[in-house]
Amino acid sequence: MRELGRRLAKLLRAGDLVMLSGELGAGKTTLTRGLGEGLGVRGAVTSPTFVIARVHPSLGDGPPLVHVDAYRLSGGLDEMEDLDLDVSLPESVVVVEWGEGKVEELTEDRLQVVIHRAVGDTTDEVRQMTITGVGERWASADLSVLGA
């Protein structure tokens, strides 16, 4: 997951919204950690579950990473407005875990990443990914470079 995040970071630019979904423990934060490494941002990327959002400034000339965990937010975009994501989005890469039904209205262009993993009493660590580009920004993007 971390390596996938590093590869994905090469495709991202300021203004990109990435929505991550999957079961608890699927690897959303690990993927975001790889994104942070690939984007060259400051600070350890950890789950923002209890603070809702963390901003990781760039160590170079790239965009900052805004990492949001919307798991505990029950409302839609109205509740998310307090985070000012619409202000941050044009200059940042914004990654939202558990954002379905909450942040789609921020932009017509987004990358949706769904992580599937076995659940229950299993030691299976295999993940299956569905990566879908939505909008003009992703219409001609070659997402096949993200394959293993």
Q: How far apart are CA 15 and CA 115, in angstroms?
A: 23
Q: How far apart are CA 47 and CA 28, in angstroms?
A: 9
Q: How far apart are CA 138 and CA 109, in angstroms?
A: 7
Each residue's pLDDT tens digit, 33-52:
999 999 999 988 988 766 67
Q: How far apart are CA 136 and CA 41, in angstroms?
A: 27
Express as a percent the part of the chain with pLDDT over 90.
47
pLDDT band at 81 (very low <50, low <70, confident <90, very high): low
Q: What is the pLDDT of residue 62?
A: 93
- The residue with greater pLDDT, 43 or 72, is 43
Closest residue by Cα to residue 106 from 130, 135, 129:
135
Question: Quick check: 110 and 104 in contact, CB under 8 A?
Answer: yes
Domains of the chain: 1-135 (3.40.50.300)
Provide the strand spans (E) within the chain: 17-22, 53-56, 65-69, 93-97, 110-117, 127-134
